[in-house]
Structure 1
Amino acid sequence: MAHPAQEETITLVKEIFRTYLKERNQRQTPERFMVLEEIYRAEGHFDADDIFFNMKNAGTRVSRATVYNTLDLLIECGLVQRQQFGKNQYYYERSYAYQQHDHMICKECGVVIEFCDPRILEIQKLMEQIHDFNVDGHSLHLFGTCRDEEACQKRKESGDKIKSLKKEEA
Protein backbone atom coordinates (compact mmCIF):
# COMPACT_ATOMS: atom_id res chain seq x y z
CA MET A 1 0.00 0.00 0.00
CA ALA A 2 1.36 3.40 -0.97
CA HIS A 3 1.77 6.12 1.61
CA PRO A 4 -0.51 9.21 1.51
CA ALA A 5 2.13 11.50 -0.07
CA GLN A 6 2.61 9.02 -2.94
CA GLU A 7 -1.16 8.74 -3.43
CA GLU A 8 -1.40 12.54 -3.47
CA THR A 9 1.33 12.72 -6.12
CA ILE A 10 -0.37 10.03 -8.22
CA THR A 11 -3.69 11.92 -8.09
CA LEU A 12 -1.90 15.12 -9.12
CA VAL A 13 0.06 13.58 -12.03
CA LYS A 14 -3.12 11.91 -13.31
CA GLU A 15 -4.79 15.33 -13.40
CA ILE A 16 -1.79 16.86 -15.22
CA PHE A 17 -1.82 13.98 -17.73
CA ARG A 18 -5.63 14.24 -18.18
CA THR A 19 -5.32 17.97 -18.96
CA TYR A 20 -2.40 17.35 -21.32
CA LEU A 21 -4.32 14.69 -23.28
CA LYS A 22 -7.46 16.82 -23.41
CA GLU A 23 -5.59 19.88 -24.75
CA ARG A 24 -4.15 17.77 -27.57
CA ASN A 25 -7.35 15.88 -28.35
CA GLN A 26 -5.71 12.59 -27.35
CA ARG A 27 -7.80 9.73 -25.98
CA GLN A 28 -7.93 9.37 -22.19
CA THR A 29 -7.87 5.57 -22.01
CA PRO A 30 -7.79 3.65 -18.74
CA GLU A 31 -4.67 1.82 -19.99
CA ARG A 32 -2.73 5.09 -20.32
CA PHE A 33 -3.57 6.00 -16.74
CA MET A 34 -2.65 2.51 -15.54
CA VAL A 35 0.79 2.91 -17.17
CA LEU A 36 1.19 6.30 -15.47
CA GLU A 37 0.22 4.82 -12.11
CA GLU A 38 2.61 1.87 -12.54
CA ILE A 39 5.45 4.31 -13.25
CA TYR A 40 4.69 6.47 -10.22
CA ARG A 41 4.59 3.39 -7.97
CA ALA A 42 7.92 2.06 -9.36
CA GLU A 43 11.26 2.81 -7.72
CA GLY A 44 14.28 4.26 -9.51
CA HIS A 45 14.93 3.58 -13.19
CA PHE A 46 13.03 1.14 -15.38
CA ASP A 47 12.74 0.27 -19.04
CA ALA A 48 9.54 -0.10 -21.04
CA ASP A 49 9.60 -3.89 -20.69
CA ASP A 50 9.81 -3.61 -16.89
CA ILE A 51 6.55 -1.64 -16.95
CA PHE A 52 4.94 -4.00 -19.48
CA PHE A 53 5.83 -7.18 -17.57
CA ASN A 54 4.95 -5.73 -14.15
CA MET A 55 1.51 -4.82 -15.47
CA LYS A 56 1.07 -8.13 -17.28
CA ASN A 57 2.10 -10.10 -14.17
CA ALA A 58 -0.41 -8.09 -12.13
CA GLY A 59 -3.14 -9.18 -14.55
CA THR A 60 -3.50 -5.87 -16.41
CA ARG A 61 -4.31 -6.25 -20.08
CA VAL A 62 -2.07 -3.73 -21.80
CA SER A 63 -0.10 -3.99 -25.03
CA ARG A 64 3.59 -3.26 -25.38
CA ALA A 65 2.69 -0.58 -27.96
CA THR A 66 0.45 1.15 -25.41
CA VAL A 67 3.30 1.19 -22.89
CA TYR A 68 5.74 2.71 -25.43
CA ASN A 69 3.21 5.24 -26.75
CA THR A 70 2.20 6.27 -23.23
CA LEU A 71 5.86 6.70 -22.24
CA ASP A 72 6.33 9.05 -25.21
CA LEU A 73 3.29 11.10 -24.14
CA LEU A 74 4.50 11.22 -20.52
CA ILE A 75 7.92 12.47 -21.67
CA GLU A 76 6.27 15.16 -23.82
CA CYS A 77 4.21 16.44 -20.90
CA GLY A 78 7.17 16.37 -18.50
CA LEU A 79 5.99 13.62 -16.13
CA VAL A 80 8.71 11.13 -17.12
CA GLN A 81 12.37 11.56 -18.08
CA ARG A 82 14.22 9.29 -20.48
CA GLN A 83 17.86 8.48 -19.81
CA GLN A 84 20.33 6.60 -21.97
CA PHE A 85 22.96 4.95 -19.79
CA GLY A 86 24.22 2.41 -22.33
CA LYS A 87 24.50 2.30 -26.09
CA ASN A 88 21.01 1.23 -27.17
CA GLN A 89 18.91 0.96 -24.04
CA TYR A 90 16.63 3.70 -22.74
CA TYR A 91 15.62 3.89 -19.12
CA TYR A 92 12.88 6.02 -17.65
CA GLU A 93 12.17 7.62 -14.30
CA ARG A 94 9.47 9.79 -12.75
CA SER A 95 10.17 13.48 -12.98
CA TYR A 96 7.28 15.17 -11.15
CA ALA A 97 7.72 15.95 -7.42
CA TYR A 98 11.05 14.13 -7.28
CA GLN A 99 14.34 15.74 -6.39
CA GLN A 100 16.70 16.64 -9.23
CA HIS A 101 19.60 14.20 -9.20
CA ASP A 102 22.47 13.07 -11.36
CA HIS A 103 24.01 9.71 -12.23
CA MET A 104 27.29 7.78 -12.08
CA ILE A 105 27.28 4.77 -14.42
CA CYS A 106 29.69 1.84 -14.38
CA LYS A 107 30.78 0.96 -17.92
CA GLU A 108 31.50 -2.63 -16.83
CA CYS A 109 28.41 -3.83 -14.94
CA GLY A 110 25.97 -1.01 -15.77
CA VAL A 111 25.11 -0.11 -12.19
CA VAL A 112 23.64 3.38 -11.83
CA ILE A 113 24.32 5.40 -8.69
CA GLU A 114 22.10 8.40 -8.15
CA PHE A 115 23.50 11.38 -6.30
CA CYS A 116 22.46 14.89 -5.47
CA ASP A 117 24.94 17.68 -4.80
CA PRO A 118 23.66 21.25 -4.26
CA ARG A 119 26.89 22.64 -5.74
CA ILE A 120 25.70 21.54 -9.19
CA LEU A 121 22.66 23.81 -8.82
CA GLU A 122 24.98 26.66 -7.77
CA ILE A 123 27.11 26.10 -10.90
CA GLN A 124 23.94 26.06 -13.02
CA LYS A 125 22.80 29.40 -11.56
CA LEU A 126 26.24 30.91 -12.09
CA MET A 127 26.28 29.75 -15.75
CA GLU A 128 22.84 31.29 -16.25
CA GLN A 129 24.15 34.66 -15.01
CA ILE A 130 27.44 34.55 -16.92
CA HIS A 131 25.85 33.53 -20.22
CA ASP A 132 22.50 35.35 -19.84
CA PHE A 133 20.69 32.03 -20.24
CA ASN A 134 17.64 30.39 -18.64
CA VAL A 135 18.24 26.73 -17.77
CA ASP A 136 15.06 24.70 -17.37
CA GLY A 137 16.71 21.35 -16.62
CA HIS A 138 19.95 19.44 -16.79
CA SER A 139 21.31 15.94 -17.11
CA LEU A 140 24.70 14.94 -15.73
CA HIS A 141 26.07 11.43 -16.31
CA LEU A 142 29.49 10.47 -14.98
CA PHE A 143 30.90 7.29 -16.54
CA GLY A 144 33.56 5.09 -14.99
CA THR A 145 34.02 1.76 -13.24
CA CYS A 146 33.18 0.35 -9.81
CA ARG A 147 36.04 0.26 -7.34
CA ASP A 148 34.63 -2.94 -5.82
CA GLU A 149 35.69 -5.19 -8.70
CA GLU A 150 34.23 -8.34 -7.12
CA ALA A 151 30.71 -6.89 -6.77
CA CYS A 152 31.00 -5.39 -10.24
CA GLN A 153 31.95 -8.76 -11.74
CA LYS A 154 29.02 -10.47 -9.97
CA ARG A 155 26.56 -7.93 -11.38
CA LYS A 156 28.11 -8.30 -14.83
CA GLU A 157 27.92 -12.13 -14.74
CA SER A 158 24.35 -12.18 -13.48
CA GLY A 159 23.26 -10.13 -16.49
CA ASP A 160 21.10 -7.96 -14.27
CA LYS A 161 19.57 -4.94 -15.92
CA ILE A 162 20.68 -1.57 -14.71
CA LYS A 163 19.82 -1.22 -11.07
CA SER A 164 19.73 2.05 -9.23
CA LEU A 165 21.77 2.15 -6.05
CA LYS A 166 20.76 5.30 -4.29
CA LYS A 167 23.59 6.60 -2.12
CA GLU A 168 22.51 7.94 1.23
CA GLU A 169 22.98 11.68 1.37
CA ALA A 170 25.58 12.86 3.85
Structure 2
Amino acid sequence: MAHPAKEETIDLVKEIFSSYLKEHNQRQTPERFMVLEEIYRADGHFDADDIFFNMKEGGTRVSRATVYNTLDLLVECGLVQRQQFGKNQYHYERAYAYQQHDHIICKECGMVLEFCDPRIQEIKDMMEKIHEVNITGHSLHFFGVCKDQEACKERQEADEKEPSAA
Protein backbone atom coordinates (compact mmCIF):
# COMPACT_ATOMS: atom_id res chain seq x y z
CA MET A 1 0.00 0.00 0.00
CA ALA A 2 1.32 3.44 -0.93
CA HIS A 3 2.21 5.79 1.90
CA PRO A 4 -0.12 8.86 1.77
CA ALA A 5 2.62 11.34 2.78
CA LYS A 6 4.90 9.98 0.07
CA GLU A 7 2.11 10.32 -2.52
CA GLU A 8 1.48 13.93 -1.41
CA THR A 9 5.19 14.68 -1.79
CA ILE A 10 5.22 13.12 -5.27
CA ASP A 11 2.22 15.22 -6.33
CA LEU A 12 3.89 18.34 -4.97
CA VAL A 13 7.27 17.73 -6.65
CA LYS A 14 5.46 17.05 -9.94
CA GLU A 15 3.80 20.48 -9.65
CA ILE A 16 7.14 22.14 -8.86
CA PHE A 17 8.80 20.38 -11.80
CA SER A 18 5.91 21.28 -14.12
CA SER A 19 6.21 24.98 -13.18
CA TYR A 20 9.97 24.87 -13.66
CA LEU A 21 9.65 23.31 -17.12
CA LYS A 22 7.05 25.91 -18.17
CA GLU A 23 9.18 28.81 -16.90
CA HIS A 24 12.20 27.54 -18.81
CA ASN A 25 10.33 26.67 -22.01
CA GLN A 26 11.08 22.96 -21.63
CA ARG A 27 8.69 20.25 -22.82
CA GLN A 28 6.60 18.47 -20.19
CA THR A 29 6.98 14.91 -21.44
CA PRO A 30 5.47 11.93 -19.64
CA GLU A 31 8.95 10.33 -19.56
CA ARG A 32 10.39 13.24 -17.55
CA PHE A 33 7.65 12.88 -14.97
CA MET A 34 8.17 9.10 -14.85
CA VAL A 35 11.87 9.69 -14.07
CA LEU A 36 10.89 12.13 -11.31
CA GLU A 37 8.42 9.64 -9.86
CA GLU A 38 10.96 6.81 -9.98
CA ILE A 39 13.41 8.96 -8.01
CA TYR A 40 10.88 9.95 -5.36
CA ARG A 41 9.74 6.34 -4.90
CA ALA A 42 13.34 5.10 -4.53
CA ASP A 43 15.26 5.19 -1.26
CA GLY A 44 18.70 6.60 -0.63
CA HIS A 45 21.29 7.30 -3.30
CA PHE A 46 21.27 6.13 -6.89
CA ASP A 47 23.11 6.80 -10.09
CA ALA A 48 21.60 7.50 -13.49
CA ASP A 49 21.97 3.88 -14.59
CA ASP A 50 20.11 2.65 -11.46
CA ILE A 51 17.14 4.77 -12.52
CA PHE A 52 17.41 3.70 -16.16
CA PHE A 53 17.56 -0.04 -15.35
CA ASN A 54 14.83 0.14 -12.68
CA MET A 55 12.51 1.84 -15.13
CA LYS A 56 13.39 -0.62 -17.89
CA GLU A 57 12.77 -3.58 -15.55
CA GLY A 58 9.44 -2.02 -14.59
CA GLY A 59 8.42 -1.94 -18.25
CA THR A 60 8.84 1.82 -18.79
CA ARG A 61 10.28 2.71 -22.17
CA VAL A 62 12.71 5.53 -21.57
CA SER A 63 16.09 6.27 -23.12
CA ARG A 64 19.28 6.61 -21.11
CA ALA A 65 19.67 10.13 -22.58
CA THR A 66 16.22 11.10 -21.24
CA VAL A 67 17.21 9.89 -17.76
CA TYR A 68 20.48 11.88 -17.81
CA ASN A 69 18.82 15.01 -19.22
CA THR A 70 15.95 14.81 -16.74
CA LEU A 71 18.40 14.39 -13.84
CA ASP A 72 20.18 17.59 -14.98
CA LEU A 73 16.86 19.46 -15.05
CA LEU A 74 15.88 18.10 -11.62
CA VAL A 75 19.23 19.21 -10.17
CA GLU A 76 18.79 22.68 -11.74
CA CYS A 77 15.33 23.12 -10.20
CA GLY A 78 16.44 21.85 -6.78
CA LEU A 79 14.38 18.66 -6.60
CA VAL A 80 17.41 16.36 -6.77
CA GLN A 81 20.89 16.74 -5.31
CA ARG A 82 23.98 15.53 -7.17
CA GLN A 83 26.90 14.26 -5.08
CA GLN A 84 30.28 13.30 -6.44
CA PHE A 85 31.73 10.21 -4.75
CA GLY A 86 34.88 9.58 -6.75
CA LYS A 87 36.41 10.65 -10.03
CA ASN A 88 33.43 10.09 -12.32
CA GLN A 89 30.98 8.64 -9.85
CA TYR A 90 27.86 10.78 -9.44
CA HIS A 91 25.08 9.78 -7.11
CA TYR A 92 21.75 11.51 -6.88
CA GLU A 93 19.18 11.76 -4.13
CA ARG A 94 15.85 13.43 -3.52
CA ALA A 95 16.18 16.97 -2.24
CA TYR A 96 12.60 17.97 -1.42
CA ALA A 97 10.93 17.25 1.92
CA TYR A 98 13.70 15.00 3.21
CA GLN A 99 15.80 15.68 6.28
CA GLN A 100 19.33 16.95 5.72
CA HIS A 101 21.84 14.18 6.15
CA ASP A 102 25.53 13.64 5.60
CA HIS A 103 27.73 10.86 4.25
CA ILE A 104 30.54 8.48 5.15
CA ILE A 105 32.22 7.06 2.04
CA CYS A 106 34.61 4.11 1.84
CA LYS A 107 37.58 5.04 -0.37
CA GLU A 108 38.12 1.37 -1.25
CA CYS A 109 34.68 0.02 -2.23
CA GLY A 110 32.69 3.25 -2.59
CA MET A 111 29.99 2.24 -0.08
CA VAL A 112 28.02 5.28 1.10
CA LEU A 113 26.52 5.45 4.59
CA GLU A 114 24.07 8.20 5.45
CA PHE A 115 23.86 9.72 8.90
CA CYS A 116 22.14 12.61 10.57
CA ASP A 117 23.47 14.30 13.69
CA PRO A 118 21.60 17.22 15.28
CA ARG A 119 24.91 18.74 16.43
CA ILE A 120 25.64 19.65 12.80
CA GLN A 121 22.54 21.86 12.81
CA GLU A 122 23.84 23.50 16.01
CA ILE A 123 27.22 24.17 14.32
CA LYS A 124 25.41 25.64 11.29
CA ASP A 125 23.34 27.95 13.53
CA MET A 126 26.47 29.07 15.39
CA MET A 127 28.38 29.76 12.14
CA GLU A 128 25.46 31.85 10.86
CA LYS A 129 25.57 33.97 14.03
CA ILE A 130 29.35 34.33 14.21
CA HIS A 131 29.86 35.13 10.53
CA GLU A 132 26.53 36.92 9.96
CA VAL A 133 25.56 34.79 6.99
CA ASN A 134 22.46 32.92 5.96
CA ILE A 135 23.52 29.31 5.27
CA THR A 136 21.10 27.73 2.80
CA GLY A 137 22.55 24.22 2.69
CA HIS A 138 25.59 22.11 3.32
CA SER A 139 27.37 18.98 2.22
CA LEU A 140 29.52 16.95 4.58
CA HIS A 141 31.46 13.84 3.53
CA PHE A 142 33.71 11.75 5.74
CA PHE A 143 36.06 9.45 3.82
CA GLY A 144 37.52 6.28 5.27
CA VAL A 145 37.94 2.55 4.80
CA CYS A 146 35.51 -0.18 5.87
CA LYS A 147 36.53 -2.01 9.06
CA ASP A 148 35.11 -5.24 7.63
CA GLN A 149 37.79 -5.73 4.95
CA GLU A 150 36.24 -8.97 3.70
CA ALA A 151 32.87 -7.33 2.93
CA CYS A 152 34.67 -4.33 1.44
CA LYS A 153 36.67 -6.57 -0.89
CA GLU A 154 33.49 -8.43 -1.92
CA ARG A 155 31.80 -5.12 -2.81
CA GLN A 156 34.83 -4.07 -4.87
CA GLU A 157 34.84 -7.38 -6.76
CA ALA A 158 31.08 -7.21 -7.36
CA ASP A 159 31.48 -3.67 -8.68
CA GLU A 160 34.27 -4.78 -11.05
CA LYS A 161 32.12 -7.65 -12.40
CA GLU A 162 29.19 -5.36 -13.30
CA PRO A 163 29.00 -4.90 -17.06
CA SER A 164 29.86 -1.37 -18.09
CA ALA A 165 26.98 0.67 -19.50
CA ALA A 166 27.02 0.76 -23.28
Q: TM-score normalised by the shorter chain: which range applies?
A: over 0.9
Could you tell me which runs of 5 or more consecutive residues in structure 2 were left unpaired when the two chains were aligned: 162-166
Matched AA of 2:69: N
Residue of structure 1 in register with 2:21 after alignment: 21
Q: CA distance change for structure 1 residues 66 and 127 in 2, over 3 Å: closer, same or farther?
A: same
> What is the TM-score with the length of structure 2 in the denominator?
0.92
Q: 1:106-145 alignment to 2 at 5 Å?
A: 106-145=106-145
Residue of structure 2 in register with 1:152 after alignment: 152
> What is the TM-score with the length of structure 1 in the denominator?
0.90
Q: How far 1:22 moved relative to its partner?
A: 1.2
Alignment root-mean-square deviation, CA:
1.4
* Structure 1 CA distance for aligned equivalents of residues 139 and 79 of structure 2: 16
Secondary structure at the counterpart of residue 11 of structure 1: helix
1:101 matches 2:101: yes
* Structure 2 CA distance for aligned equivalents of residues 83 and 14 of structure 1: 22
* Structure 2 CA distance for aligned equivalents of residues 68 and 110 of structure 1: 21
1:41-81 deviation per Cα after TM superposition (whole angstroms, max 9, x unaligned): 11111111111111112121111111111101101111000
Q: CA distance change for structure 1 residues 40 and 59 in 2, over 3 Å: closer, same or farther?
A: same
* Structure 2 CA distance for aligned equivalents of residues 28 and 57 of structure 1: 23
| Superposition misfits of 4+ residues, deviation over 2 angstroms | none
Q: How far 1:2 moved relative to its partner?
A: 2.6
* Structure 1 CA distance for aligned equivalents of residues 160 and 127 of structure 2: 38
Residue of structure 1 in register with 2:55 after alignment: 55
Secondary structure at the counterpart of residue 60 of structure 1: coil
Matched AA of 2:70: T
Could you tell me which runs of 5 or more consecutive residues in structure 1 were left unpaired when the two chains were aligned: 162-170
Matched AA of 1:31: E
Secondary structure at the counterpart of residue 104 of structure 2: strand
* Structure 2 CA distance for aligned equivalents of residues 83 and 126 of structure 1: 25
Q: Taking CA–CA contacts closer than 8 Å with sequence separation of 6 or more, which of the two structures ends up with the larger relative contact order?
A: 1
* Structure 2 CA distance for aligned equivalents of residues 94 and 160 of structure 1: 27
Identity percentage of aligned residues: 80
